[in-house]
A and B are shown apart, each in its own frame.
Chain A
Amino acid sequence: MEEINHPNQIPYHLIMDEMEGEISVADLQELENWKAADPAHLRSYQEILDIADHAELLTVYREADPELAWQKFKPSIPEEVKIVPLHSEKKSGLFFLKWAVAIVVVISGALLLANQSGWIGSQTISTGKNERQKLNLPDGTEIFMNANTTISYHKSGFLKARNVELEEGEAYFNVIHDEENPFSIKVGDLNVNDLGTSFNLKVEPKQVVVVVNSGKVSLEKAKDTILLSAQDRGTFNRETKQMSFAKNNDLNYRAWHDKTLHYEKASLSEVADDMKELFGTHIIFQDAALKERTLSAYFKDKTEAEIMNSIAETLRLKVTKRGGTFVLSN
């Protein structure tokens, strides 16, 4: 007690009651008055809350057991990273044989071509209907290819001029920045120039869509250029050849890549579209009004069944699976 100069200055009894959530209206008013009376009061108040909060964290900290956590964590460490190196086409061909024999043909064709022209010819990589693949380029850039996607580039000169062509499909780029040697992707008439960043690039029948996750990207068509920053969405209309951009409001533009679906008050019909694209899930709404129900949710690495059950639980709906189709009903 002797160390404390003016213990009565701070109304501890009120703060303690407030922390417990059992404070009367009159007391709360008294506490608020005291807090408002002097900025120093507010500071002391905050210090006390911090101490209380940290005391709580201290318990959790003491109980944390790295040994136990490691034992639990160990099994989830991948034995081998699933990188498909570009220069071992044979291996990658075999690896995906069960999915699409056609790819092997294309790749071995590319291999043959590359061999014949002394590794000078262009390298073409395609993914099949249900195949996703990661490309590691010689400069360290990563390209995650969605299904039905074809990418080509010149292997021999790549480090000198970093040019890649996206012929069709969708890919997520993680580009290593090099000011002196820009990274450029050609999509028909459009050039997408990267200034060191990550972004998603999708070729649709009528348009090309770029959504920037971080850094800056420029879209270039003949003499026109537009510059995109993080969270911008740029589109190139393939018919009118016009470019435009806006803020991206599709939270799930790269769901196919990071296996993450995220909704903020999204309608169920929107969710159903994403599920169809991501898993091929077919959802039937027993009552059309259900399509307008809204969902706020976050799913990461979940299976389609897990997601459907979670949606049903959140919105108190019934979900039944018939064949390959999920039926949602009240």
Chain B
Amino acid sequence: MTDQDTELIEGICRKDKRSFELLYKGYYKKLYILAFQYVRQPEMAEELVNDVFLKLWNDAEQLNIRQSLSSYLSRCVINTALNTIKKENRKAFHQEKFLSGYEESEMENDEAQMLENKLIRLEKALDSLPPQCKKVIMMSKFDKCKQQEIADALNISVKTVKSHLTNGYEKIRVMLSKEQVLFFFLFLLFAVELRLLHLNIVL
């Protein structure tokens, strides 16, 4: 855990509301979006995140966090979300995707941070698109407009809308996968470095 997190958790153990407030505000956004990715309903996602925080407030003394607080909270959110989905038994398409990929486990990846990073990278990629192209994608995804509606609103043809979507998505896809390759190389480099370090020690 980071020093700041340790301090906040200690505060929460003393039932200090100010520490709780700082922690809540610091983590809310990424935990909320993580919950939303699973349950797809704003109120339910909010309720779920609040439940996790309440549990933290009530049981802080008994916490035994091995890795980071953020990973721990991510795991709580995911497990609670999976339980909610299972119980609600809703047949959304996302459900299958997540239920097949994830099971409740001890695994402690910082899923919330990973998702937040992805969204920030996507936002950057979107910002680098030509203005009209960005506008079309925003309308299609953020305002959930159909292609025809976008065409009408911007006074362009559906064909043009399609070509904006095509170009936009392709550019974003290429940008993000390039970044991924970069990350992969950095990781490899890091691994090699470690290996060398290890060899040095052995020698």
Contact = CB atoms under 8 A, between A and B. Distances in A.
Contacts of A74: 21
Nearest to B172: A51
Given A3-B174, A298-B88, A60 B25 contact: no
B33 A57 contact: yes
Contact of B123 (A10, A58, A64): A58
B171 interface: yes
Given A57-B37, A73-B53, A4 B122 contact: no
A1 interface: yes
A59 B141 contact: yes
Given A1-B167, A78-B57, 19 more contacts: A7-B167, A12-B166, A16-B147, A16-B165, A47-B173, A55-B126, A55-B137, A57-B33, A57-B115, A59-B141, A61-B119, A69-B24, A69-B50, A70-B25, A74-B21, A76-B54, A78-B54, A140-B62, A298-B88
Contacts of B119: 54, 57-58, 61
B25 A76 contact: no
A35 B166 CA distance: 17
Contacts of A70: 21, 24-25, 28
5 contacts: A16-B162, A55-B137, A66-B25, A66-B28, A69-B32
A268 B17 CA distance: 44
B21 A64 contact: no
Contacts of B87: 262, 298
A173 B166 CA distance: 57
A261 to B, nearest CB: 10
Contacts of A20: 146-147
A250 B202 CA distance: 56
A51 B169 CA distance: 8
B160 interface: no
A67 interface: yes
A286 B166 CA distance: 60
Contacts of A55: 122, 126, 137, 141-142
Contacts of B177: 47
A262 B174 CA distance: 45
B84 to A, nearest CB: 8
Contacts of B32: 61, 64, 69
Given A54-B118, A60-B36, A296-B89, A4 B170 contact: yes
Report the 6 A-B pairs with minimum CB-CB distance, sorted nearest first.
A12-B166, A298-B87, A66-B28, A55-B141, A66-B25, A59-B142
A69 B46 contact: yes
Select the residue from B28, B29, B87, B162 with max chain A CB neighbours within 10 A: B87
A48 B173 contact: yes
B20 interface: yes
A22 B140 CA distance: 14
A276 interface: no
A77 B28 contact: no
Contacts of A76: 50, 54
B165 A61 contact: no
Interface in A186-223: none
B25 A77 contact: no
Contacts of A59: 141-142
A10 B170 contact: yes
Given A12-B165, A69-B28, A60 B33 contact: yes
A90 interface: no
A215 to B, nearest CB: 12
A13 interface: yes
B152 to A, nearest CB: 15
Contacts of B137: 55
Contacts of B36: 57, 60
Given A20-B147, A22-B146, A51-B172, A73 B50 contact: yes
Interface in A149-188: 176
A264 B86 CA distance: 10
